Amino acid sequence: MHFNYFITLLLITIPATLFCQGFNVNTSDLETFHFKDPQNRNQITFTSDALFETFTGLSSDVWGEVNFNPSDVKNTLKGEVSISVNSITTGIDMRDENLKSDGWLDSEKFPIISFRIENVEEITIVEDNKIRLSIVGSFDCRGRAREVMLEATLILLEENNMTRKRMPGDLLSVVADFSINLSDYDIRSIFIPDRVSDKITITVNIVGSNAKP
């Protein structure tokens, strides 16, 4: 009897976050977060670190949606985020033109680059409103889709006076990074590997709202 009492007491005192698969909130509703920021504050960047040159490209033309049950993110997270190829800038006009040409990203035939969530491999609860995820998804570039693994940190902020200064509704912050190989997308320039690295590191820093746009 004393043993059963001990087990019951132990279960009560174990933090609920150990069993949580998402944020520590009292809801079972599916939430949808929209990432089109009218002020273009959301950013996705890529970095090429080659033998003779390192440069970074940036796009602020970001849109998309993700949806999930906040209390069960691991099993319900789905969605897609995209950018327009023509919005990418690297700081040098000629390089930007080359980047969008048919030998590279070919913005005329393939104007959009996107990432679609397939499933969550692992989840770590950092705090009640902050989680880390390992996400498997499909990265679509230049008409080809390849599976990639993405490491992301998600922070959920319930609407308050401070968050309304950014935008209305509950906010979801997403910071993530992953890498791709250009050769997987049939990009094989004479500049690789001296001026452009085959391996490209991509960083995501976006905030979405569950308020309908």
Which H or E element spans position 145? strand 144-157
Q: How far apart are CA 1 and CA 21, in angstroms?
A: 32
Asked whether residue 15 is domain-assigned, the answer is: no
pLDDT 10s digits, 133-153? 999 999 999 999 999 999 999
The reported pLDDT for the residue numbered 123 is 94
Which residues constitute the domain of residue 112? Answer: 20-209
More confident residue, 1 or 52: 52
Domain assignment present for residue 135? The answer is: yes
Asked whether residue 5 is assigned to any structural domain, the reply reads no
- Check residue 189 and give its pLDDT: 72
For residue 187, how far is the Cα from the chain centroid? 23
Helices (H), 69-189: 73-76, 93-99
Asked if residue 130 belongs to a domain, the reply is yes
The string over 3-39, giving b where at least 16 C-beta atoms fall within 10 Å of a residue's C-beta and e elsewhere, is eeeeeeeeeeeeeeeeebbbbbbeeeeebebbbebee
Q: Copy the structure tokens of residue 140.
A: 């679509």
Report the CATH number at residue 31. 2.40.128.110
pLDDT at 4: 52
| The predicted structure's pLDDT at residue 10 | 39
Q: Give residue 149's pLDDT.
A: 97
* Residue 28: strand pairing partners: none
Which residue from 138, 142, 62 is spatially nearest to 99, judged by alpha carbons? 142
Q: Is residue 38 part of a domain?
A: yes
pLDDT exceeds 70 at position 11: no
In a domain, 14, yes or no: no
Average pLDDT, the chain: 88
- The answer to the question of residue 106 being in a domain is yes
Q: H helices then E strands: how many in the chain?
A: 3, 10
pTM of the model: 0.86
Pairing of strands 31-34, 112-127: unpaired
Q: So what's the pLDDT on residue 15?
A: 44
Neighbours of 107 (CB within 10 A): 19
Give a yes or no: residue 104 inside a domain.
yes
Tell whether the model's pLDDT for residue 12 goes beyond 70. Answer: no
Based on the structure, what is the number of domains in the chain? 1
